[in-house]
Structure 1
Amino acid sequence: MSRRRSTSLIATLAVVPLVAALAACASPAAGGSDASGSDDVVRIGVVGKGDPQWAAFEEAAADEGITIEIVDFGDYAQPNPATTEGELDLNQFQHIVYLADYNVSAGEDLTPIGSTAIYPLGLYSTKYDSVKDIPEGETVAVPNDASNQARGLLVLQSAGLIELKSGGTIFSDLADVDEAKSKVKVTALEASLTPTSLPDLAAAIINNDFVADAGLSFEDAIAQDDPEDPNALPYVNIFATRAEDQDNETYAKLVEIFQTDPEVQAGLLEASGGTAVPVATPVADLRDSLAKVQSDTEDAKR
């Protein structure tokens, strides 16, 4: 869930109310009007407004005559409902798998309008220097939102720490862990809590957005997935908006700016510790992937 991180890249899916702070400061979406008379500001929701790409993005957009406002959120559960309700015009924090699960769970139709990057999802520890050092029976945490939990479990399986009964899919959850054949126990925590819980764990899958919160760098990961795998398309991070706005020319221009501006791209790489893999995936491919993952998600939820 975004890097910042996915993604990588890549990722709770319950629809939660907007925090009071957002409600207090929210202004109408672009094209509306507010008390100040500002009706042409594009509001974009992110997790990690302090990442250097966003300041560069604001400047690059302004150079093209587009005023944007970056709205920061503390966790992944909030930007999609805010976009659905029109408090935001766009958001950029999630990959396709996360968006698909939101759309299915909430009965909504948010859609990708452009890609940003794929971010590796890493396993971190403050107690052990390598996966091999983790003793049998220790506890490892994964994020508790469905999309990132499944991806985290696949990382643990690739690292030899667990075995998944199904062999591992984008829908794997804790019930899929074969405890008898696994080296470690697995627990699920809200994504923002995984870094602060490291002192009580052998290791944890930490979304890129929260690596710095643990006083870690991306180079500290003791295991991670491969963002260049052809099967990684569902974990491409995206700009998303309401289906009714998917052909908005201003939004398309903002995606182009993000993908091509050198300062924005430099900030993206800086924020991810050099781990982000920038991509400019055709929008049609993103939407095809979303449709496929949503269909699979609907089948899995039946």
Structure 2
Amino acid sequence: MSQTPPPGSTPLIEAPRRRRWPLVLAALVALAVVLGLVVSLTGGDDEASPAPTVRIGVVGASDPYWATYEKAAEEEGIDVEIINFDDYNQPNPAVSEGELDMNQFQHIVFLADYNVARGDDLQPIGATAIYPLGLHSKQYDAVEDIPAGATVAVPNDASNQARALVLLQSAGLIELKSGGTIFSDLADIDTGASRVEVKALDAALTATSLDDLAGAVVNNDFVERAGLDFDDALAQDDPSDPNALPYVNVFAVRADDLDNPTYRRLVEIYQETQAVQEGVVEVSGGTAVMLDTPVEDLQASLERVESDTRAQQD
């Protein structure tokens, strides 16, 4: 209850209230600065930018295990896009030029041939599997049934051609002057000592040309697509041979990306996911031998093959 001042007295003047809004404003500004610093350091939990998609080039993207692999990667927060190629000559330049982040379709010998020919430096970042190479025929049930003078096809790319020729020699169909190396080609065939003639075709065509050939060495990727059965191969090489390391299939990346933790984790997901591993074996008709060869061994093998390839060219 207020009191009225006595008559004649001087009214008391109320002291002015302190203006607090500048202090409040300063506090709010300080708080905003602190919050901004925290967000800039942590990236912010609610507004985090999504991780970029990792593009991986393969031959045979329709194989079911690739969808399984994409899902396994997604469960770990990695968005993967599998890009299909039908031509072996395209995935490596695509990685080199930045159109792809990784590829997985080739063995070490193929990668070495590419690097030397193009002056490139793509590197293996992890192993996947090794696949035996098989000799198939629609006309004959055994190697011994193939008549003298018949024509057998091999892939025309250097690395697979050499491997196919060594297989034909092991099967007793040809003789190689060098005894057989990773550099053997058609010129290495001793025609006088060989039982069959050899024709080089694109790897995608060896199987589809079987109607006109006595036999053909068919890359694993094209066996089932051509309606062939892995078990019907007349002969195949031995993937467990220690000398087979150059034919281990790998994930390949640019040299600058060898230590990329996301790419390395993607290799581990491939190697550790049982459904992926089983899918690869199933698609290969039970022929694939799954591997987790140390990256250092893969890189050492690549270096040796590249060195030998350059020496061969001198």
Whole-angstrom CA distance in 2 between matches of 1:286 and 1:189? 29
Do 2:51 and 2:79's aligned partners in 1 also have CA atoms closer than 8 Å? no
Q: Map residues 103-252 of structure 1 onto 2, 5 A cutoff.
A: 103-252=115-264
Which residue pairs with 1:30 in the alignment?
Answer: none
Whole-angstrom CA distance in 2 between matches of 1:193 and 1:261? 33
SS in 2 for 1:140: strand
Larger RCO, structure (CA 8 Å, separation 6 or more): 1
Whole-angstrom CA distance in 1 between matches of 2:51 and 2:90? 23
Q: Which has the larger radius of gyration?
A: 2
Whole-angstrom CA distance in 2 between matches of 1:80 and 1:218? 28
Structure 2 residue identity aligned to 1:119 = Y
Do 2:51 and 2:78's aligned partners in 1 also have CA atoms closer than 8 Å? no
Whole-angstrom CA distance in 1 between matches of 2:263 and 2:51? 15
Shift of residue 213, structure 1, vs aligned partner: 2.6
Q: Quick one: percent identity of the two aligned structures?
A: 67
Structure 2 residue identity aligned to 1:47 = V
Which residue pairs with 2:310 in the alignment?
Answer: 298
Shift of residue 247, structure 1, vs aligned partner: 0.5
Whole-angstrom CA distance in 2 between matches of 1:170 and 1:102? 14
Shift of residue 212, structure 1, vs aligned partner: 1.5
Do 2:174 and 2:196's aligned partners in 1 also have CA atoms closer than 8 Å? yes
Shift of residue 57, structure 1, vs aligned partner: 0.4
Is residue 269 from structure 1 mapped to residue 286 from structure 2 by the alignment? no
Which residue pairs with 2:84 in the alignment?
Answer: 72
The equivalent position to 1:282 in structure 2, one of 294, 298, 309, is 294
For residues 207-232 of structure 1, the C-alpha deviation after alignment (integer angstroms, 9 at most, x for no partner) is 01111232101111110000000111
Question: What is the TM-score normalised by the length of structure 1?
Answer: 0.87
Query: Which blocks of at least 5 consecutive residues in structure 2 are unaligned?
Result: 1-48
For residues 45-81 of structure 1, the C-alpha deviation after alignment (integer angstroms, 9 at most, x for no partner) is 0000011221110010011110100000012111001
Whole-angstrom CA distance in 2 between matches of 1:141 and 1:39? 46
Do 1:196 and 1:213's aligned partners in 2 also have CA atoms closer than 8 Å? no
Which residue pairs with 2:66 in the alignment?
Answer: 54
Shift of residue 105, structure 1, vs aligned partner: 0.2
The equivalent position to 1:257 in structure 2, one of 263, 269, 277, is 269
The equivalent position to 2:104 in structure 1, one of 70, 92, 95, is 92
Do 1:130 and 1:222's aligned partners in 2 also have CA atoms closer than 8 Å? yes
Query: Which blocks of at least 5 consecutive residues in structure 1 are unaligned?
Result: 1-36
Whole-angstrom CA distance in 2 between matches of 1:193 and 1:209? 12
- Equivalenced residue count is 266
Question: What is the TM-score normalised by the length of structure 2?
Answer: 0.84
Shift of residue 293, structure 1, vs aligned partner: 0.2
